[in-house]
Structure 1
Amino acid sequence: MAPTGTPVVFIHGLWLGASSWQPWVDLFTARGYSPMAPTWPGESESIELARSHPEDAAGFGIDEVAGHFAAIIEKLDRPPIIIGHSFGGMIAEKLLGENYGIAAIAIDAAQIKGVLPLPVFKNPANAHRAVSLSADEFHYGFGNAVSPEESEALWEAWNIPSPGKPLFEAAGANFSHNSPAKVNTENQARGPLLLIMGGKDHTVPEAITKATLKQYKDSSAITDLVEFADRGHSLTIDSGWREVAEECLTWLDSQTLTA
């Protein structure tokens, strides 16, 4: 029998594979939702294949990624809840602003246009490549709030090469009138949005999320903020993932969602 619950589309960010959402998919399924976690354009279905063919993921930018997920959503029988992490969180915001979802949750989301960017790769050539993170880089950017042993285990399990282009697009967003990082933050008719931030996140510091919240000041639509003060960027995949997932489920239960 086909699932009948409200659809949920999970969107991962850079350097993680789509399968990293599997515990969330299982939990949301158990709670009556119909979740899915699609790959990014050019991303192999397995972690091993993604690592073996990094060139397949190269060159995709924010518009291509957003369009890829929009096309997936358009094939659903009704608009979904969209949940994204890191750059996936930005994509979730972008799609919600364009009314592709009935609600969205953006977890440690990358900065949108209007938010001051953080430093990115020093090598401009990486804008056209797919790049990976070393175990040390992963520990600093993702796993700094967990033990070194857990961070290395997460890196070994989930790290994949990802396109560098979205990083450079986000970094230059405030200098481009038509930046792909632009989100319709003034949409009054969109569904509710929850922003989640990790207080120890090195990749998307809490200042980025708080600045993102301010970008929504001209919309009367619901925009909420939740902080996990002791969590880093790995909060969706590390041993504390369920606490974050339960917070998302509790928030969704509190909303009046209509397709």
Structure 2
Amino acid sequence: MKTIHSKTVLFVTGAFVSHRGWDSWKTYFESQGYTALAPAWPHKDGIPAELRKNPDLAVAALGLTQVVDYYADIIRQLPEKPIVIGHSLGGLITQLLVQRGLAAAGVAIHSVPPQGVFSFSFSFYKATWNPLGFFKSARKPYVMSFKEWQYAFTNGMSLEEQRSSYEASVIPESRRALRGGLSAEAKIDFKKPHVPLLFVAGSEDYIMPAELNYANFKRYRHAGSVTEFKKFEGRNHYVLGLPTWQENVDYILNWIGNH
């Protein structure tokens, strides 16, 4: 029996990057008859190069719960519960919105894990250590360096692709929001009933490895709720902008159509 009837999609952007990374996805979903929204986080709406040059200091004050509440307020103004699709930290936000009962379905793409779900991958710790910056101040916005971008997001891509994607995508970030993913702000009740939830992972993701996404998926324990996992080969963390992005979208659309 089909349970996903919504024709509204809310895209939730992750950390470090502009919401414009959803542009192609938004257009594609709209071509399939959906109403699609991809709002920027508070204080992050602008051209990436300009935001990097003149970062809004208010970004640094953003906490994870504040960002979740922001998306929750958007949802409450919609005529129906949306299908929530989030990438990276947006994937964790998707899980939290599903837990609040605000989504018709959820898709967590290369998701940041909730509290208590860990990875033993060296690449995970290497890619997240400096952005989290436990021994550094969280009073100023953090901008991922190009070297960090190469490792965490665009590993395996040509230098030209890495540079162009950095220029087009990277914006100042809140370390408070990042650290919130390790706190009770990111707590999930894995035994609670929930709407259909799909986890998508990539075999080449260094910062959010596929095995971490699988561990996240496996923690859900409510037998009567749909929870599924899909790993794509060859995808790094820049999955939304890779030449293969449409294959991911088609899989998600097919999953939505079958649930």
TM over 0.5: yes
1:160 to 165, 168, 171: 171
- 2-structure distance, mates of 1:23, 1:126: 35
Find out whether 1:79 has 2:81 as its counterpart: yes
* Aligned position for 1:147: 158
Find out whether 1:217 has 2:221 as its counterpart: yes
Q: Retained in 2: the 8 A contact 1:103–1:192?
A: yes
2:201 to 197, 203, 219: 197
Deviation readout 1:205-232 (Å, 9 max, x if unpaired): 1121111012102453100000012111
Shift of 1:123: 4.6
Deviation readout 1:36-66 (Å, 9 max, x if unpaired): 0011122123324422224231121210110
Find out whether 1:22 has 2:33 as its counterpart: no
Deviation readout 1:55-82 (Å, 9 max, x if unpaired): 2311212101100000000000110000
The amino acid of 2:108's aligned partner reads A
Which residues in structure 2 correspond to 1:19-168 (within 5 Å)? Answer: 19-51=20-52, 52-116=54-118, 118-119=124-125, 120-121=129-130, 122-168=133-179
* Aligned position for 1:252: 256
In the alignment, structure 2 segments of 5+ residues that lack a partner are 1-5
In the alignment, structure 1 segments of 5+ residues that lack a partner are 174-178
Find out whether 1:184 has 2:189 as its counterpart: yes
The amino acid of 1:134's aligned partner reads S
Q: Retained in 1: the 8 A contact 2:112–2:208?
A: yes
The amino acid of 1:53's aligned partner reads P
Deviation readout 1:131-163 (Å, 9 max, x if unpaired): 111222111000003222212211111111111
- 1-structure distance, mates of 2:137, 2:92: 20
Q: Which has the higher contact order (CA 8 A, sep 6+)?
A: 2
1:228 to 224, 232, 235: 232
* Aligned position for 2:3: none
* Structure-1-length-normalised TM-score: 0.89
The amino acid of 2:91's aligned partner reads G
- 2-structure distance, mates of 1:54, 1:238: 29
Q: Equivalent residue of 1:84, what SS?
A: strand
Q: Number of paired residues?
A: 244
Q: Retained in 1: the 8 A contact 2:49–2:168?
A: no
Percent identity, aligned pairs only, is 28
- 2-structure distance, mates of 1:66, 1:30: 28
Say if 1:49 and 1:185 are closer, same or farther in 2 by CA, change over 3 A. farther
Structure 1 residue runs of 4 or more that deviate by more than 6 Å after TM superposition? none
Shift of 1:29: 0.3
Shift of 1:240: 1.9
- 2-structure distance, mates of 1:147, 1:217: 41
Shift of 1:18: 0.9
